[in-house]
Chains A and B, each alone.
Chain A
Amino acid sequence: MESVMSIIGKNFGIIAVDTLYVKSILSIKKDLNKIIEIGPNIYTVVSGYPGDVAQFTDLIQKSIQLHTLENGIILDINSIANLMRSEISSCLRKGPLKINLILVGFDIKCQPSLYLIDYLGNLQKMNFCAQGYSSLLIYSLLEKYFDEKINVEQAIQIIKKCISTLRSRFLVNQNGFLVKVIFNRTTKLIGVF
């Protein structure tokens, strides 16, 4: 089960995700990068059944590229989020995809936005968010320390607190957490905590 957490500030977005790849009781790979770029400066983390994750990410990534080539317009993050949601909800009664995902990026007005999409096709725009079993532990911390006016350093401190809580209380020893900060036109890889 993946642990993902994400915070949106005034002009940045930050994602932290664990780097462990598990198959039944074994940890196969300890340094997997799960943050995938599906559009120009738009990042997503998809968690759930591994086959569905790979298939869905590929499908959306290539659909967006095809759409850009066919129509000559670059999709903004709102359209991409709605495209993902409609894909999940149309498969819901045929062959459901067991995935939850987080989408972070900047929209046309240069405001950071964070979208949470459920395995049932719920789409919500949020300020901070967590996924996975560990979200039961993280949400209370994010709720307590989050403020709309935080800057990058404060957000990284909040993420560090969440990670240390998980280390001491979560059942699974998730080795490291990859943290990435997204600015308007650039991204910055903070590192693995």
Chain B
Amino acid sequence: MISDKYFFDQKGKLNGLENTNKAIWRSSEAIGIISRDGIILSVTRDNYSMSRGNSRLTSRIFLIDSHVVCVVSGLIPDANFLINHARIQAQHYKQIFQKIIPLKKVLEEICDLKYYFTTRGDTRLFGVSFMIAGWNDLNNPIIYKTDPDGRNWSFWGAAIGYDSLINQDMLYEVFDIDFNINNALGIILDIFSKKYNFYDVTEFLDVAIIRKKDEKKLFFNLLNKKSMLSIFKFK
């Protein structure tokens, strides 16, 4: 059954894409910032009333290979499918070339699959938006933000999910070329504290600090509630 919403309408929009974006805007919010010596990714959880027992399993931060991290906003089952595909392709690349997969190629694998479903009329789009973070060939930290139809951009500071437009504006105001990782962390905690009561927010916020260890690996540090509170008080 070919549905009308995958053809361009009279105003030049794709209805399927618009509705998918709205679905993502209802999901958890995520902000990512790059700085000279590291990357910071932060994402809220779905049900913050639940206990933080299984923090790894309910987190929305995934590792695609030991040098690529991604954050998800939107439907988690769709994200699982895409991340699985990307993980397989990363190991396949390693098997053929005996080298770790470049970041751009991971992005291409995910976005090509997302794009494939935009040209078919009988299936729905993947309702997920990614922020894929890592270091590129020139050894610069980089964050790619992807849309559900396969568009991607690279940002110094990106926001997806709930309130993404407002968050993106707030990030534009504080842009500075010479960021330190502490500055970046401060910005993220600032943004969240302006919107919510900070003590409550630490219950359902995941902040990950990512530094580069060597060619193939990253230092990955997930902050817990105590450390977030201590950093915020120190500010």
Contact = CB atoms under 8 A, between A and B. Distances in A.
Contacts of A72: 104, 137
A83 B105 contact: no
Contacts of B108: 70
Contacts of B137: 72-73
Interface in B72-127: 95-99, 102, 104-105, 108
A79 B99 contact: yes
Contacts of A75: 97
Contact of A83 (B96, B102, B104): B96
A111 interface: no
A168 interface: no
Interface in A64-88: 70-73, 75, 78-79, 82-83, 86
A184 to B, nearest CB: 21
B136 to A, nearest CB: 10
A78 B102 CA distance: 16
Contact of A82 (B97, B102, B105): B97
Nearest to A90: B96
Nearest to B97: A79
Contacts of B102: 71, 73
B96 A82 contact: yes
Interface of B: 95-99, 102, 104-105, 108, 137
Interface of A: 70-73, 75, 78-79, 82-83, 86
21 contacts: A70-B108, A71-B102, A71-B104, A71-B105, A72-B104, A72-B137, A73-B102, A73-B137, A75-B97, A78-B98, A78-B99, A79-B97, A79-B98, A79-B99, A82-B96, A82-B97, A82-B98, A83-B96, A83-B97, A86-B95, A86-B96
